[in-house]
Structure 1
Amino acid sequence: MKKVLVLSDSHGDVDAMERAVARERPDLILHLGDLCRDFDELQRRLPITQAMQNVCGNCDGFTEVPDQRVLLVEGKRILMMHGHRYEVKLGYSRAMWAAREAEADILLCGHTHIALDRDLMGLHLMNPGSCRGSRGTYGVIELGEGEPLFRIEENRAGV
């Protein structure tokens, strides 16, 4: 069983991401953009052995970090993106088409700051929302034998 922590839209709140990591103790951390420098700082704070991947978002300016990646985790193809290039604030259909073209089983995107977790015609869509602040959220995926388990969690300080 592999536990994946999905973070997005941290916007400077590295402490919130660190809380989620401490709470969940994941095998893999995925950051869906906004901000890449937060991802870099989190990477500095964690053990060098922690597996992490990120993509850039609309607030990241010029960066060599790609705006999407396809990962294979425990036999599942995951398309991770921020979502701004697919206008996810207007709906997820364009991002879903990209996921279908990538033959993904799971689509991860952020940008809206609103958590969403849905199974849509054989494609699982997760937007972890924004992990920033006192009302922040993040996503967790557990992959292994059997069907993947998905959940959205609140990321309150001190909880």
Structure 2
Amino acid sequence: MLLFSDSHGNVANMADTVRLEQPDQILHLGDLLQDADALSSQFPHIPLVSVPGNCDGRRPDLPEERVLELDGCRILMTHGHIYQVKMGIGAAVRAAREVRADLLLFGHTHQAFCEYENGMWVVNPGSAGSLTQPSYAVLILEAGGAVCYLSKI
């Protein structure tokens, strides 16, 4: 599974990554939803789930966060702005623990990291649209757990 965030108009970076990685699923963590839609149009056979970011405007038709159950793993995905992750990830981690998530996925900060802390993966794929250091994350879900890693585009 590929994780993207903060593509900010750079669909080409994501499309190149999809061709390289050949994922079975894509999660887009916001900024910009139109990029996620364009990517989904290019690869209609790959399921894509997204959440809106702060640059996507208010979207009452879309939840600002989603809780997914995939391959036995519970995932909280959000862009992160609703938890003020630029000021620290504590509120987002608490929200993930409240829903008993195995993984917390967010973006917004443009700073990629992938850490396992106290039984939960906390992953930010960075910015797929960065002009200097575009990045993404790969998430491998296996029975009983998950593994993730970061890569540059």
Tell me the TM-score normalised to structure 1 length.
Answer: 0.91
Instruction: Output the CA distance in 1 between the equivalents of 2:4 and 2:117.
Output: 21
Instruction: Output the CA distance in 2 between the equivalents of 1:106 and 1:18.
Output: 25
Over 6 Å off, 4+ runs: none
Cα shift at 1:107: 0.2
- Equivalent positions of 1:140-155 (< 5 A) are 140-145=138-143, 147-155=145-153
- Cα offsets for 1:66-107 (capped at 9, x unmatched): 211011111000100000010100111000000011110000
Shift of the 87–60 alpha-carbon distance from structure 1 to 2, 3 Å rule, reads: same
Tell me the TM-score normalised to structure 2 length.
Answer: 0.95
Shift of the 56–93 alpha-carbon distance from structure 1 to 2, 3 Å rule, reads: same
Q: Which residue is equivalent to 1:25?
A: 22
Q: Which residue is equivalent to 1:13?
A: 10
Q: Which residue is equivalent to 2:48?
A: 52
Q: Which residue is equivalent to 2:76?
A: 79
Q: Which runs of 5+ in 2 are unaligned?
A: none
Q: Which amino acid aligns with 2:21?
A: E
Q: Which runs of 5+ in 1 are unaligned?
A: none
Q: Which residue is equivalent to 1:62?
A: 58
**DSSP-derived class of the 2:35 partner:** helix
Q: Which amino acid aligns with 2:74?
A: R
Q: Percent identity?
A: 44
Assess if the C-alpha contact under 8 Å between 2:73 and 2:102 holds in 1.
yes
Aligned CA-pair RMSD: 1.1
Assess if the C-alpha contact under 8 Å between 1:6 and 1:140 holds in 2.
yes
- Cα offsets for 1:50-74 (capped at 9, x unmatched): 1110000000013222211011111
